[in-house]
């Protein structure tokens, strides 16, 4: 056996300094790997060949990826991209790319300055009002940080300054708008980058088009054979718009378990199936024939010595759950970062009230916030009349969204471990706790250890 590191991501300044311009592309790796399936040469020889003949590599990539449809070859080329000075609104949009990795500046730990996107295409008659109101929101954010810090200090004098600041920022950020500028690091392969470019191309706002152009210009010379179809028109499913008049809206609940498919018996049967050469129905029949005590023994064996960082077996994917929930934009920013599930968000803000953190609820600041939300909502309505997409910049972190998630029990364990943890942010923790108790009621054995990672530590200490 031989293991060779064929490449890894290097800082661009080093690439510019040491790699000859003509060879400074990830295309050679994609081309070499694409040839593995049809060549008797070893992989490292294929890499040497493709590096020598970049133009030939480009031509073979084009044929293999775009003509033969072996698109996963483009996944061998990976980019790291710094995105600076982008709105939180557009950040949310790009972070829906599920097969990419992001790290974004945290509004929990960093104080945000009065720096926000003013959409170039916003009607000039509204621009001044938009700027003034956004500046007021930033001022309110700064003053809420001070108020919350003073209040916390009086209540918990033992807290260090840093902890006071973090707790205050965590809640004061609910008043910040989605126009707030932020920055992020994105790691994305060429296949997914092409998809992101297509999505950006289809978002008709100036900021998205600017990002599309800058991203495309940056990568089109580096990997022209891997990123090709970027200006495709996506289906807007506009037929569904005609159904609006017949829609009957129900009231919102914080979390509902809409459906749960698959049973605990399926999980045990899938584990048995993997260990034997039998059909799945034979495995099911064997599990069904067990007594409750025998089944309980199997469950005990699955969870024995389970640590909070250990994945549950794949058999837990036999159970799928669908939850509907209502949360703030702030919570959504965290929720949608979970990639191994299907998440849907309504495009319009639902009828619920803005989410105000409990720490703000109990102070006079609350009334100021309510008045500001009224002003923001009026401005949103004004902008919506002619430029509905641009009204999204005015939404604050506290505006409610309705979200549906389809997640399997294995991934739900991962989600709940992170989000029901004692360090988790209070709103997502509340939602995670509710999801977890609804799941435990449905799957009492399989979901027995559905809890935050801090609770695992407590369990261990008690043993
Ligand atoms: C306390 C806390 C603080 C945070 N702070 C920040 C912050 O400051 N800034 C910020 O940007 N984010 C922050 N996050 C979000 C965090 O970085 C993750 O994006 C988020 O928690 C999703 O979790 P995940 O990546 O573990 O798994 P998910 O996306 O839920 O995926 C589930 C599992 O799939 C696998 N997986 C999915 N995608 C990949 C991949 N590309 N490569 C390898 N394995 C993969 C992993 O096994 C993962 O555990 C924070 C999260 C927490 C809990």
The Cα 362–Cα 45 span in angstroms is 68
The Cα 239–Cα 151 span in angstroms is 52
DSSP string, 236-285: --GGGGGGGGG--PPPP-SEEEEEEES-HHHHHHHHHHHHSS--HHHHHH
The Cα 266–Cα 313 span in angstroms is 13
- Which atom of ligand 1 has the smallest separation from the CA of 103? 11
| Secondary structure (H, E, C), 320-380 | EEEEEEEEEHHHHHHHCCCCCCEEEECCCCCCCCCCCCHHHHCCCHHHHHHHHHHHHHHHH
Q: Is the pLDDT of residue 238 over 90?
A: no
pLDDT for the residue 251: 66
Q: Is the pLDDT of residue 462 over 70?
A: no
Q: Is the pLDDT of residue 82 over 90?
A: yes
pLDDT for the residue 236: 84
Share of the chain above pLDDT 70, in %: 99
Query: Does 103 sit in the ligand 1 pocket, CB within 6 Å?
Result: yes
Q: Is the pLDDT of residue 282 over 80?
A: yes
Distance of CA 461 to the CA centre of its chain: 33
The Cα 125–Cα 128 span in angstroms is 7
Query: Does 102 sit in the ligand 1 pocket, CB within 6 Å?
Result: yes
Phi, psi of 142 (to 5 degrees): -60, -45
79, 108, 339, 343, best to mutate for ligand 1 pocket (most atoms within 8 Å of CB)? 339
DSSP string, 443-457: -TTTTTT-S-HHHHH
Locate tokens 């775009």: which residue?
A: 66
pLDDT for the residue 210: 97
- Which atom of ligand 1 has the smallest separation from the CA of 418? 53
- Which atom of ligand 1 has the smallest separation from the CA of 99? 41
Query: Does 416 sit in the ligand 1 pocket, CB within 6 Å?
Result: no
- Which atom of ligand 1 has the smallest separation from the CA of 423? 1
- 448-455: average pLDDT: 95
Give the single-character DSSP code of 87.
Answer: E
The CA-atom distances, in angstroms, between 410 and each of 204, 303, 311, 360, 414 are 38, 13, 8, 36, 7
Q: Is the pLDDT of residue 248 over 90?
A: no
- 244-253: average pLDDT: 76
- Which atom of ligand 1 has the smallest separation from the CA of 184? 11
The Cα 366–Cα 292 span in angstroms is 53
Query: Does 199 sit in the ligand 1 pocket, CB within 6 Å?
Result: no
Counting beta carbons within 10 angstroms of the beta carbon of residue 442, is it exposed (0 to 12), middle (13 to 18) or buried (19 or more)?
middle
Query: Does 9 sit in the ligand 1 pocket, CB within 6 Å?
Result: no
CB 30 within 8 A of CB 61: yes
Query: Does 339 sit in the ligand 1 pocket, CB within 6 Å?
Result: yes
414, 428, 453, 454, best to mutate for ligand 1 pocket (most atoms within 8 Å of CB)? 414
Contacts of 227 (CB under 8 A, 6+ apart): 74, 190, 193, 194, 197, 216, 219, 220
- 265-279: average pLDDT: 97
Q: Is the pLDDT of residue 350 over 80?
A: no
- 402-412: average pLDDT: 97
CB burial of 283-301 (b: ≥16 within 10 Å; e: otherwise) equals bbeebeeeeeeebeeebee
Q: Is the pLDDT of residue 337 over 90?
A: yes
pTM of the model: 0.94
Give the single-character DSSP code of 20.
Answer: -
Which has the minimum average pLDDT: 68-82, 240-254, 312-326, 448-462?
240-254
The Cα 377–Cα 396 span in angstroms is 10
- Which atom of ligand 1 has the smallest separation from the CA of 101? 41
- Per-chain mean pLDDT for the chain: 94
The Cα 411–Cα 219 span in angstroms is 33
**28 CA to centre of ligand 1 in angstroms:** 30
Q: Is the pLDDT of residue 302 over 80?
A: yes
The 10s digit of each residue's pLDDT in 101-134 is 999 999 999 999 999 999 999 999 999 999 999 9
The 10s digit of each residue's pLDDT in 155-177 is 999 999 999 999 999 999 999 99
Locate tokens 């399997």: which residue?
A: 408
Angle at 343 between CA 342 and CA 345, to 5 degrees: 150
The Cα 263–Cα 282 span in angstroms is 16
Residues paired with 183 in a beta bridge: 84
**343 CA to centre of ligand 1 in angstroms:** 15
pLDDT for the residue 440: 98
Q: Is the pLDDT of residue 459 over 90?
A: no
Query: Does 72 sit in the ligand 1 pocket, CB within 6 Å?
Result: no
| Per-residue pLDDT band at 245 (split at 50, 70, 90) | confident
Residues in the chain: 463
pLDDT for the residue 89: 98
Q: Which of 177, 181, 170 is nearest to 91 (CA)?
A: 181
Take atom 32 of ligand 1 and give the residue whose Cα is closest.
340
| Per-residue pLDDT band at 387 (split at 50, 70, 90) | very high
Q: Is the pLDDT of residue 77 over 80?
A: yes
């Amino acid at each position: 056996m031989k293991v060779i590191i064929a490449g890894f991501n290097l800082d661009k300044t080093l690439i510019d300094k040491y790699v000859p311009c003509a060879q400074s592309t990830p295309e050679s790796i994609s081309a070499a790997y694409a040839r593995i399936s049809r060549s008797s040469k070893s992989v490292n020889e294929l890499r040497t060949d493709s590096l020598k003949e970049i133009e030939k590599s480009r031509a073979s990539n084009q044929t293999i990826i775009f003509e033969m449809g072996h698109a996963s070859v483009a996944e061998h080329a990976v980019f790291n991209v710094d995105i600076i000075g982008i709105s939180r609104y557009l950040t949310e949009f790009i972070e829906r790319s599920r097969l990419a990795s992001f790290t974004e500046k945290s509004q929990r730990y960093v104080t945000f300055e009065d720096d926000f996107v003013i959409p170039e295409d916003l009607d000039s008659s509204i621009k001044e009002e938009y700027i003034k109101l956004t500046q007021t929101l930033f001022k309110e954010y700064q003053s809420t940080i001070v108020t919350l810090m003073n209040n916390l200090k009086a209540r918990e004098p033992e807290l260090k300054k840093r902890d006071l600041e973090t707790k205050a920022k965590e809640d004061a950020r609910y008043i910040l708008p989605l126009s707030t500028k932020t920055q992020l690091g994105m790691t994305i392969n060429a296949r997914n980058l092409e998809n992101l470019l297509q999505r950006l191309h289809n978002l008709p706002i100036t900021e998205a088009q600017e990002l599309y152009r800058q991203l495309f210009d940056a990568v089109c010379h580096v990997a022209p054979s891997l990123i090709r179809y970027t200006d495709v028109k996506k289906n807007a499913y506009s037929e569904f718009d005609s159904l609006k008049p017949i829609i009957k809206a129900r009231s919102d609940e914080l979390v509902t378990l809409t459906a749960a498919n698959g049973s605990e018996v399926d999980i045990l049967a899938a584990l048995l199936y993997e260990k034997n050469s039998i059909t799945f129905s034979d495995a099911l029949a064997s599990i069904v024939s067990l007594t409750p005590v025998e089944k309980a023994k199997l469950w005990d064996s699955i969870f024995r010595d389970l640590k909070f960082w250990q994945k549950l077996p794949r058999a837990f994917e036999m159970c799928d759950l669908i939850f509907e929930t209502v949360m703030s934009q702030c919570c959504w920013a965290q929720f949608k970062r979970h990639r191994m599930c299907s998440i849907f968000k309504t495009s319009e803000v639902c009828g619920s009230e803005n989410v105000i953190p409990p720490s703000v609820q109990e102070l006079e600041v609350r009334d100021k916030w309510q008045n500001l939300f009224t002003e923001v909502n009026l401005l949103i309505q004004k902008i919506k009349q002619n430029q509905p997409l641009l009204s999204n910049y005015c939404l604050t972190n506290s505006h409610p969204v309705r979200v549906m998630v389809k997640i399997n029990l294995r991934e739900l364990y991962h989600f709940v471990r992170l989000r029901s943890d004692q360090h988790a942010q209070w709103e997502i923790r509340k939602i995670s706790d509710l999801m977890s108790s609804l799941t435990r009621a449905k799957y009492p054995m399989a979901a027995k250890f559905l809890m935050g990672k801090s609770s695992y530590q407590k369990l261990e200490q008690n043993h």
